[in-house]
Amino acid sequence: MTSSCREAIRRIRPISGTLFGLVVLASIGSATAEAFRVLKGPEIRSLFTGMEFTDEVHWTLVLGRDGTLTNIGMGRKTVGRWQVKQDQLCLDRARDEQRCYVVSRSGKTYRLQEPDSDIYEEGIVQRPVARH
């Protein structure tokens, strides 16, 4: 092997090692992403009482400590009620329309999903933000 060949190999090894390391880190990062974990009734009550559940753009649900539910979405504001029944979050968004949801969490993301349905709402839970 010529000296120029050896020099080229010496330059390539650190690059290929770096690329391999980046590929390994990327695969570890995706493998450690948290799966959604279903919450129980007491956890739901503890995490949601006095807080807001929001997608940070289109809608916000404010879950008052007294059981009131303020639904703010697309420029409209409505008031209803909320409660935890067994291990589900139940929302009365409109008169005589109660829907209950299984609540799950992955990191800071929460998911409300009707039982036996693929449709869900996903957002974060945070302290209520003052709105004008």
Q: Is residue 71 part of a domain?
A: yes
Q: Is residue 115 part of a domain?
A: yes
Higher-pLDDT residue of 75 and 110 is 110
Q: The tokens 């409209």 sit on which residue?
A: 76
pLDDT at 19: 37
CATH of residue 109: 2.40.128
Does the pLDDT value for residue 16 go beyond 90? no
- Are residues 117 and 59 part of one domain? yes
- Are residues 55 and 114 part of one domain? yes
- Are residues 95 and 47 part of one domain? yes
Q: How many domains does the chain have?
A: 2
Average pLDDT over residues 16-45: 64
Average pLDDT over residues 60-66: 97
Q: Is residue 131 part of a domain?
A: no
pLDDT at 76: 92
Residues counted in the chain: 132
- Are residues 79 and 59 part of one domain? yes
What the block records as the tokens of 80 is 């209803």
User: What residue numbers bound the domain in which 18 lies?
Assistant: 1-33
Supply the pTM of this predicted model.
0.72
Q: Is residue 42 part of a domain?
A: yes
Q: Is residue 78 part of a domain?
A: yes
Q: What is the pLDDT of residues 22-34, one digit of tens each?
A: 333 344 444 456 8
90-126 burial, b if ≥16 CB within 10 A, otherwise e? Answer: ebbbeeeeeebbbbbbeeeebbbbeeeeeeeeebebe
Average pLDDT over residues 10-29: 43
59 near 72, Cβ under 8 Å?
Answer: yes
pLDDT at 96: 76
Q: What is the pLDDT of residues 82-115, one digit of tens each?
A: 999 999 999 998 777 899 999 999 999 999 999 9
- Are residues 44 and 86 part of one domain? yes
